[in-house]
Amino acid sequence: MTQSPGTQTAEPSAARISFGLTSLRTYGLVIAIIAIALFFYLQNPAFASFQNLSQLLRSMASLGMIAFAQLLVIISGELDLSVGSVYGLTAVALAVIWLGEGNSPIQLPFILALIVALAVPLAAGAINAFFTTIVRIPSFIATLGMLSIAQGAELLLSNASNFNPQYNVPPPPQGEIDLFRALGYTRLPFDIPVQVLWLLVFFGIFWVIRHRTLFGFRLLAIGGNTDAARVTRLPVTRYKFVVFMLCAFMAGLAGILDFSFVGSVGPNSGGALTFPVFAAVVIGGASLSGGRGTVFGTLMGAVLLAVLRNGLAIMGVGAFAQLIFVGVVTIGAVTLDVLAQRAAGRRA
């Protein structure tokens, strides 16, 4: 009656747990991406060049990394609006602590500065979680406040100036600069940017967390029905602390990697990230009311946004008009999803 353990193939539990509409939706998204990419390719074959595609993937790395973590927050039934400003704050914190510039009280060697800088988003995430779970104010408000706090802290720390380690006076040791640039600027074999590797590694890590751990399994329940989760004695508060801290940490790490790639950091560098992070998660099929969403879907959401940006840029559409496209696509994708669900509900 039951299969012997040896014959069991690795049927993904995701398909088992949420078969049907969710996976159909992800296939639809992949098909849409292929169609749009094909369109851009026909417009300009340079779109499909190896160089352009690897540039496209690199450009979405930090967005994707943050979106994976934001997905977990959204699955748990909360949201984190502060990712953009935590991204900027962490990069600036690294710069001023390492270089001893701005209003930094201390100057530390690169490794120590990196550790201190990464503690900043962890603290921000813990504060977000504290007000959401212990004080019980909506995460919308808690993280909206954090958005402003992190932004203000960033400007205070930096005096709103730019930092470039290479041209700093006095410059840090060359070994430290090399290490710093290695994080986000190195090229791997075949000239692949290292940030693409970061993106894929974190895709793997978050896929395992979401689909293969007890944590991911219970997170679905917590976001799906918080009251029932409490009656079932699931560790609601602890899990929400983990997702908020993880989300802020990923934002901070992405900020540092982008700082490393660009080589300099200025004020308000992450402000434009908030929207696309949410757009990627939502286009990827997650429900903002919690309990639903996949890591692969989120990756595809981020890919769709990156393809649009890149392809439109190649066609010569300006950055301002691109924003309009991205907004239209986000609303369109979610509208299609809602209509499909309604149709499925009628059939059932």
Which residues bind to another protein, rule: CB under 8 A?
Answer: 2, 5, 8, 10-11, 13, 16-20, 208, 212-218, 220-221, 223-225, 227-237, 291-292, 348
Residue 304 CB, shortest distance to another protein, in Å, is 24
Q: Shortest Cβ distance from residue 19 to another protein (Å)? A: 6
Listed in sequence order, the residues at least 6 apart from 241 whose beta carbon sits closer than 8 Å to its beta carbon are 125, 126, 129, 130, 133
Among residues 237 and 264, whose Cβ is nearest to another protein?
237
Cβ-Cβ contacts under 8 Å for 133 (sequence gap 6 or more) = 236, 237, 240, 241
Chain center to CA of 127: 19
234 dihedral zone (left: phi>0; alpha: psi -120 to 50; beta): beta
Nearer to another protein, 169 or 214 (CB): 214
Q: C-beta of 280: minimal distance to another protein in Å?
A: 21
Q: Considering the complex, what minimum distance in angstroms separates the CB of residue 79 from another protein? A: 17
Q: Of 49 and 289, which CB lies nearer to another protein in the complex structure?
A: 289
Q: Which residue has the tokens 């203000």?
A: 152
Report whether 79 contacts 139 (CB < 8 A). Answer: yes
DSSP output for 255-287: HHHHHHHHS-B-TTTTGGGHHHHHHHHHHTT--
Q: Quick one: 85 or 294, whose CB is closer to another protein? A: 294
Q: What is the DSSP string of 287-347?
A: -TTSS---HHHHHHHHHHHHHHHHHHHHTT--HHHHHHHHHHHHHHHHHHHHHHHHHHHHH
Kindly state the smallest distance separating residue 144's Cβ from another protein, in Å. Answer: 22
Rounded least distance, CB 59 to another protein, Å:
33
Q: Which is nearer to another protein, 20 or 105 (CB)?
A: 20
Q: Considering beta carbons, is residue 46 or 134 the nearer one to another protein?
A: 134
Least distance between another protein and beta carbon 226 (Å): 8
Residue (11 or 191) nearer to another protein, CB? 11
Indicate the residue among 66 and 236 with the shorter CB distance to another protein: 236
**Closest separation in Å from C-beta 345 to another protein:** 10
Of residues 13 and 103, the one with the C-beta less far from another protein: 13
For helices 295-314 and 194-212, give the axis angle rounded to 10 degrees: 150
**CB of 75: closest distance to another protein in angstroms?**
10
Place of tokens 């100036």: 161
Report how far apart, in Å, the C-alpha atoms of 282 and of each of 16, 143, 220, 309 are.
22, 18, 16, 17
Report in angstroms the alpha-carbon separations of 321 from 210, 216, 262: 35, 38, 25
Q: What is the SS3 assignment for 109? A: coil
**Do residues 187 and 55 make contact, with C-beta atoms less than 8 angstroms apart?**
no
CA distance 67 to 186: 23
